């Protein structure tokens, strides 16, 4: 099932960077639980003494956030979701910058509901870092310890050690505007860590970086997060960042958790169109009866899995084969008559968006596209082998 | 895009030198006439009366005019009281600006309008209003007198109060504008690092908006230095105690216009020296 | 001065009035200038010239506002077709405007000194005539709680007194009166004009001010006037003159005549002015 590897919606090709740390992610099928208890620490549920246990409810005009988050020390949790889903609001609520309308927030067994942000053992790396422009890198990092009552020289010593760890000792005296994006990101991380937080929050930690820096910083960040002994929560809209950096993904749409699990599980078993799109799969909901799934969208699809009841069926665009004429004598049971709605290049392939009996995305080679004379409005037959579909309980 | 952390995009603080250079080169690359002509006209309009003052100045008798102790007394009093009024405006006005820019409370727009009221009020009316509030028989002054034996009219403190009353709005408006332009998330970042809201304000926000505060302080100082109406109404006119330069100039104008011009020249020279000393970059943000 | 203040004041008033009357008489008889101009204006007076018309512009000291406005209305009533425009202000300012070329027909100043600015520049037609005089008075809070009965009382410590600045007529006059009484008075403030001084008393910030009788009169019940004998030494003459570049000299002369007539003097004395 290598075809099912996570593919970023905006990614260029199938093989994606370093694989996610999906240590024991082979706990297959757990996606069907209403509250999937995945991750390396089975002790996190239901109420961990240590770590994070939160239900965040924030009500604002035309926006309602209600999510539950739990994590054990050492966990890296990624909040993934489209813009406006409520990720940043959740992060601000964790930091205490946005008050909770309802719910609770416990960290290491202590309630933080009423704790003001300055008294929370929480460190934040902001999206654009928000390094204080009038202070040097060193004084930026020393700011937190200073606020905690550490003497000036002691705070600077600690800050120096942090910058050293980040490989930034040479830039200790630089003002933020003299730092590169990657350096600024590391200073921001050092600044957040210097307060010894029990909860580290990262808001789109890589979004402000250009593509090349991003690759490098992502690797460094992954290392630093792995070393971090308390709970880390990062917010991102980039599935690649989420999958590389996090142990566990929490997908948020419209202020609600729509799915959570390990990166590998989410990549294999998307449960919403948004996630399916992120990981590059065609996804349908239907009702299974043995090997046949009647899709809510209309046609039937044959799968290898033997299931009954409501299910999801997913297959990658690369599993779709297109024909100009109805293939004769083919055993293809999963055969649909479609019309090309749109075409776009997708790496070295052409991605065809198809309408008709079934809406789906299909990847074909440039040569095949030419032979098929694909153009918007062209009629095609699409088929997918049962072997290459994947059904799982909804 | 490595400069997202640079506050210049949104906040007030800027580096003076590179910015000025950029403006300079841009200026030479052809200025549109519809901007150049009115601009020069405005400059001429502002400078001509001052030039006339210089042309008609009684240069010959200037040394005599300026040798009286009253002149230097008035000048000293003007500088001291304008500086004190600016200090009062800073101590009280910056927190007010912060409240207006950073907090939500009912009727904030109305309060902001009230703050600017001294700008539109004729200063003499402002002086009368101060008398009604802080005078010996005023709403509050009555109690100040009865409880502490403090009377403010006809004192140097009264001069400072009158000047602060008319000058503070300049500072508040200038600082509030800078605060609004500054990214409030810097304060939030400081908060997440363990800083109380006040620590965040004075260790992060204050340095960030320093140029705006300086610009506001310069405006306030200049306004206080030239203040006449509220001062003479509230604090009266007594040499060495409440007679500031503008009062001396006005009274000299009554029977000796030449002396008035001489005094004005002194005031002008001192203001130019101070304002130029503060550099134009302090005045760029407002 | 240990008797009741009220009584003392009444006595002073009587004395003051008597003195003023004497002074007025002597001024009349001694000043040939004013007599002459009175004659000339009487000859071209309002009674026999019905052909007056047009606008006449009068620059007059601020203290003349009430009485001159009344006289202007009276003039317009007597001479239909005429219109009197007034510009009231500080005498110095008015004098500066006139020498600066402002189109005015008549100038009525609050002091000979300011009139001199105009005559020195040869902007006056003829010699100015004193048409009223103004005397100083002490303005105290209503009811005179500090029991001020004389100029000397103002020198008591703890009493807040405001004077006009020496550069303005009322300040100069006050100084003259103090000198005459050999008194030394340190006020809390030298105000920029007489209204400023009066305001301080009206707002109860000062206990007393030395101002003109007419100002006390105009303030109504907000201040109480206390006359003092030294004021006789500092009586202010109000000169009036026809200006050289008067656009409407004929009508202007008629207005001056009205001011100097018995009718005009009655209106002016109601405002607290003394006869010349």
Our answer on whether A and C touch (3+ beta-carbon pairs < 8 Å) is no
Strands A122-125 and A102-107: unpaired
Q: State whether residue B255 sits within 8 Å of chain C by CB.
A: yes
Q: Contact, A47 vs A39, CB < 8 A? A: no
Q: Do both C259 and C126 map to the same domain?
A: yes
> Residue C263: which CATH number?
3.40.190.10
In a domain, C5, yes or no: no
What confidence category does residue C109 fall into, taking pLDDT thresholds of 50, 70 and 90?
A: very high
H/E segment holding residue B222: helix B210-226
Same domain, C60 and C180: no
Pairs of residues, one from chain B and one from chain C, whose beta carbons lie less than 8 Å apart: 65
Contacts of B185 (CB under 8 A, 6+ apart): A126, A130
Q: Does pLDDT of C172 surpass 80?
A: yes
Residue C150 reports pLDDT greater than 60 = yes
Contacts 24+ apart (CB under 8 A), B80-85: B80/B156, B81/B156, B81/B159, B81/B160, B81/B163, B81/B224, B81/B244, B82/B163, B82/B167, B82/B221, B82/B224, B82/B225, B82/B227, B83/B221, B84/B160, B84/B164, B85/B160, B85/B161, B85/B163, B85/B164, B85/B167, B85/B220, B85/B221, B85/B224
C140 and C225 share a domain? yes
The C-alpha of B111 sits at a distance from chain C's nearest C-alpha, in angstroms, of: 28
Using CB atoms and an 8 Å cut-off, which of residues 164-183 of chain B contact chain A?
183
Residue C172 lies in a domain: yes
pLDDT for position A26: 32
Task: Give the pLDDT confidence of C41-89 residue by residue, as tens digits.
Answer: 433 444 444 577 888 999 998 889 889 999 999 999 999 989 999 999 8
The per-residue pLDDT for B5 is 43
pLDDT on residue A329: 64
| C163 pLDDT tier (thresholds 50, 70, 90) | very high
pLDDT value of position B282: 52
User: Is residue C10 situated within a structural domain?
Assistant: no
**Gap from A196 CA to chain B (nearest CA, Å):** 10
* Chains A & B: contacts with CB separation below 8 Å: 90
C17 domain residue, yes or no: no
Whether residue A129 lies within 8 A of chain B, CB to CB, comes out as yes
Enter the tokens of residue C162. 């405001």
- Same-domain check for residues C140 and C129: no
pLDDT digits (tens, 9 = 90+) for A303-362: 888 888 899 999 999 899 898 888 876 555 788 889 999 898 888 889 999 998 889 999
Among the partner residues C167, C203, C206, nearest to B251 by beta-carbon distance:
C167
Mutate to test the interface with B, among A133, A145, A190 (most CBs of B within 10 A): A133
Q: What is the ipTM of this complex?
A: 0.74
Count of domains for chain C = 2
Whether residue C1 lies inside any domain: the answer is no
Residues pairing with B160 in the sheet? none
Q: Which residue has the higher pLDDT, B190 or C111?
A: B190
Residues of A in contact with B208 (CB under 8 A): 132-134
A333 compared with B209, residue with greater pLDDT = B209
Smallest CA-to-CA distance from C216 within C230, C199, C193, C232 is with C199
What's the rounded Cα separation, in Å, for the pair B85 and B93? 11
Same domain membership, residue C110 and residue C242: yes
Mean pLDDT in runs of 10 for chain A (394 residues)? 40 38 35 38 52 91 90 92 89 92 91 90 93 94 93 94 92 93 92 94 89 86 90 90 91 92 90 88 90 86 88 91 80 82 87 89 89 88 89 88
pLDDT at A332: 57
- Whether C44 is covered by a domain: the verdict is no
Smallest Cβ–Cβ distance between B188 and the set A97, A176, A181 belongs to A97
Q: Could you tell me the residue range of the domain that residue C141 belongs to?
A: 136-233
> Of the candidates A289, A271, A290, which has an alpha carbon nearest to the alpha carbon of residue A279?
A271
Residue C189 is assigned to a structural domain of this protein: yes
pLDDT at residue B193, rounded to an integer: 94
Residue A56: what pLDDT? 93
Nearest CA in chain C to B145: C205
Question: Residue C169: what pLDDT?
Answer: 80
Pick among C94, C112, C162, C190 to test the B interface (most B CBs inside 10 A) = C190
Distance from CA of residue C164 to its chain's centroid? Answer: 15
C141 and C191, same domain (yes or no) = yes
Q: Based on the fold, state whether residues C162 and C129 are members of the same structural domain.
A: no
Contact yes or no for C189 and B237 at CB 8 A: yes
Q: What per-residue confidence (pLDDT) applies to B69?
A: 81
Which chains sit next to B, with 3 or more Cβ pairs under 8 A?
Answer: A, C
Identify whether the C-beta of residue A54 lies closer than 8 Å to the C-beta of residue A71. Answer: no
Q: Backbone dihedral region of C220: left (phi > 0), alpha (psi from -120 to 50 degrees) or beta? A: left
C18 lies in some domain: no
Q: Do C162 and B236 touch (CB under 8 A)?
A: yes
Q: Do B6 and A177 count as a contact with CB atoms less than 8 A apart?
A: yes
Partner residue facing B5 (CB), from A123, A143, A176: A176
- Is C190 assigned a ligand-binding role in the annotation? no
Q: Residue A122: list chain B partners with CB under 8 A.
A: 192
Whether the pLDDT of residue B93 is over 80: the answer is yes
Report d(CA B259, CA B239) in Å as an integer: 16
Smallest CA–CA separation between B107 and chain A, in Å? Answer: 21
**Contact state of C189 with B154 under an 8 Å Cβ cutoff:** yes
Report CB contact under 8 Å: B251, C188.
no
Residue C250 has which token pair? 């004929």
B204-218, C19-33, C243-257: segment of lowest average pLDDT: C19-33
Task: Determine the pLDDT at residue A35.
Answer: 39
Is residue C148 domain-shared with residue C223, that is, in the same domain? yes
C93 and C224 fall within a common domain: no
Specify the pLDDT at position C265: 93
* Cβ contact C203–B242 (<8 Å): no
C203 and chain B: CB distance < 8 Å anywhere?
yes
Strands A102-107 and A110-111: antiparallel
Considering the domain architecture, whether residues C90 and C122 belong to the same structural domain is answered as yes
Residue B132 contacts C, CB cutoff 8 Å? yes
Torsion, Cα of B102, B103, B107, B110 (10° steps): -20
| Contact yes or no, B with C (3+ CB pairs under 8 Å) | yes
Contact status, residue B286 vs residue B177, Cβ threshold 8 Å: yes
CA distances, A23 to each of A1, A71, A240, B241 (Å) = 18, 16, 17, 83
User: How many CA atoms, within 13 angstroms, populate the side-chain half-sphere of residue B90?
Assistant: 18
Q: Which two tokens stand for residue A106?
A: 């416990």
Partner-chain contact B251 C160, CB within 8 Å: no
Cβ contacts of C160 on chain B, cutoff 8 Å = 136, 154
Q: Is the pLDDT of residue C6 over 70?
A: no
- Region C146-167: mean pLDDT is 90
If asked whether residues C251 and C169 sit together in one domain, one would say no
C212 is in an annotated binding site: yes
Read off the pLDDT of residues B32-74 as tens digits, 9 standing for 90 and up: 888 999 999 999 999 998 898 888 888 888 888 778 888 889 9
- C263–B contact, CB cutoff 8 A: no
Q: Which of A132, A180, A190 to mutate to test the interface with B (most CBs of B within 10 A)?
A: A132
C191 and B CB contact within 8 Å: yes
> Same structural domain for residues C179 and C113?
no
Check the annotation: does C194 bind a ligand.
yes
| C3 pLDDT more than 60 | no
What gap in Å lies between CA C241 and CA C116, rounded to an integer? 11
Least confident piece of the model among A39-48, B100-109, C167-176, C192-201: A39-48
């Amino acid at each position: 099932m290598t075809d099912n590897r996570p593919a970023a919606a905006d990614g260029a090709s199938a093989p994606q960077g370093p694989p996610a740390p999906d240590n024991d992610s082979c706990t297959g099928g757990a996606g069907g639980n209403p509250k999937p208890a995945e991750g390396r620490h089975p002790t996190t549920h239901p109420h961990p003494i240590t770590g994070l246990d939160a239900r965040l409810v924030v009500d604002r005009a035309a926006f309602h956030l209600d999510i539950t988050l739990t994590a054990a020390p050492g966990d890296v949790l990624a909040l993934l979701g489209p813009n406006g889903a409520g990720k940043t609001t959740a992060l601000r609520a964790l930091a205490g910058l946005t008050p909770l309308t309802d719910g609770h927030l416990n960290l290491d067994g202590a309630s933080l509901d009423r704790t003001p942000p300055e008294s929370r053992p929480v460190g934040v790396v902001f999206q654009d870092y928000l390094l204080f422009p009038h202070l040097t890198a060193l004084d930026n990092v020393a700011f937190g310890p200073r606020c905690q009552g550490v003497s000036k020289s002691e705070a600077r010593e600690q800050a120096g050690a942090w910058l050293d760890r980040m490989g930034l000792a040479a830039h200790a005296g630089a003002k933020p505007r003299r730092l590169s994006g990657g350096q600024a990101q590391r200073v921001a991380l050092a600044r957040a860590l210097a307060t010894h937080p029990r909860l580290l929050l990262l808001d789109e930690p890589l979004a402000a970086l250009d593509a090349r820096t991003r690759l490098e910083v992502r690797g460094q960040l992954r290392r630093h997060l792995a070393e971090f002994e308390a709970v880390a929560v990062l917010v991102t809209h980039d599935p690649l960042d989420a999958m590389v950096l996090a142990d566990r993904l929490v997908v948020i749409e419209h202020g609600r958790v729509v799915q959570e699990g390990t990166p590998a599980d989410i990549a294999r078993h998307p449960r919403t169109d948004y996630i399916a799109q992120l990981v590059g799969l065609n996804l349908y909901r239907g009702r299974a009866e043995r090997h046949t799934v009647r899709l809510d969208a209309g046609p039937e699809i044959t799968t290898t899995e033997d299931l009954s009841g409501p299910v999801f069926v997913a297959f990658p665009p690369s599993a779709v084969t297109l024909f100009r004429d109805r293939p004769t004598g083919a055993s293809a049971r999963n055969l649909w008559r479609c019309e090309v709605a749109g075409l776009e290049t997708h790496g070295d392939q052409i991605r065809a968006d198809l309408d008709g009996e079934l809406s789906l995305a299909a990847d074909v080679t440039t040569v095949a596209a030419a032979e098929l004379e694909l153009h918007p409005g062209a009629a095609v037959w699409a088929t997918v082998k049962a072997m290459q579909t994947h059904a799982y309980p909804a | 895009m490595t400069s997202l952390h640079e506050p210049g995009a949104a906040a007030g603080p800027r580096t003076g030198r590179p910015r000025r250079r950029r403006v300079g080169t841009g200026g030479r690359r052809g200025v549109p006439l519809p901007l150049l002509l009115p601009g020069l006209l405005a400059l001429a309009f502002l400078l001509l009366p001052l030039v006339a003052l210089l042309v008609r100045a009684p240069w010959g008798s200037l040394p005599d005019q300026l040798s009286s102790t009253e002149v230097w007394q008035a000048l000293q009093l003007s500088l001291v009281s304008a500086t004190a009024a600016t200090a009062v405006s800073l101590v009280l006005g910056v927190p007010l600006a912060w409240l207006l820019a950073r907090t939500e409370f009912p009727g904030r727009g109305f309060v902001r309008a009230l703050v600017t009221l001294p700008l539109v009020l004729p200063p003499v009316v402002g002086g009368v209003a101060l008398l009604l509030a802080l005078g010996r028989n005023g709403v509050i002054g009555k109690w100040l007198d009865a409880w502490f034996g403090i009377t403010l009219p006809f004192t140097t403190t009264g001069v400072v109060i009158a000047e602060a009353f008319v000058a503070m709005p300049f500072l508040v408006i200038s600082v509030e504008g800078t605060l609004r332009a500054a990214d409030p998330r810097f304060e939030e970042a400081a908060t997440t690092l363990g800083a109380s809201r006040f620590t965040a304000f004075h260790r992060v926000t204050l340095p960030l908006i320093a140029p705006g505060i300086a610009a506001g302080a310069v405006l306030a100082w200049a306004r206080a230095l030239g203040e006449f109406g509220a001062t003479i109404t509230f604090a009266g006119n007594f040499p060495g105690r409440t007679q500031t330069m503008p009062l001396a100039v006005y009274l000299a104008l009554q029977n000796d216009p030449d002396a008035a011009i001489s005094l004005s020249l002194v005031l002008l020279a001192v203001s130019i020296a101070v304002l130029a000393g503060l550099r134009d970059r302090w005045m760029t943000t407002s | 001065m240990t008797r009741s203040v009220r009584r003392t004041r009444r006595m002073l008033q009587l004395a003051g009035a008597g003195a003023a009357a004497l002074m007025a008489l002597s001024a009349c008889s001694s000043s040939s200038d004013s007599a002459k101009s009175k004659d000339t204006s009487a000859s071209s007076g309002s009674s026999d010239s019905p052909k007056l018309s047009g606008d006449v512009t009068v620059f007059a000291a601020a203290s003349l506002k009430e009485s001159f406005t009344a006289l202007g209305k009276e003039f317009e009533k007597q001479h239909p077709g005429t219109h009197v425009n007034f510009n009231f202000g500080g005498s110095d300012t008015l004098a500066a405007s006139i020498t600066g070329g402002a189109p005015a027909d008549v100038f009525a100043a609050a002091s000979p000194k300011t009139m001199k600015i105009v005559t020195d520049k040869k902007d006056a037609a003829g010699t100015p005539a004193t048409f009223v005089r103004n005397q100083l008075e002490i303005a105290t809070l209503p009811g005179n709680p500090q029991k001020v009965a004389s100029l000397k009382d103002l020198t008591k410590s703890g009493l807040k007194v405001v004077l006009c600045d020496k550069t303005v007529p009322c300040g100069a006059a006050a100084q003259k009166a103090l000198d005459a009484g050999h008194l030394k008075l340190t006020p809390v403030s030298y105000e920029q004009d007489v209204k400023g001084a009066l305001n301080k008393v009206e707002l109860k910030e000062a206990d007393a001010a030395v101002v003109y009788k007419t100002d006390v009169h105009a303030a109504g019940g907000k201040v109480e006037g206390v006359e003092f004998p030294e004021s006789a030494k500092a009586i202010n003459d109000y000169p009036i003159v026809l200006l050289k570049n008067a656009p409407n000299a004929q009508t202007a002369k008629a207005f001056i005549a009205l001011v100097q007539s018995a009718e005009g003097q009655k209106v002016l004395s109601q405002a607290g002015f003394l006869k010349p």
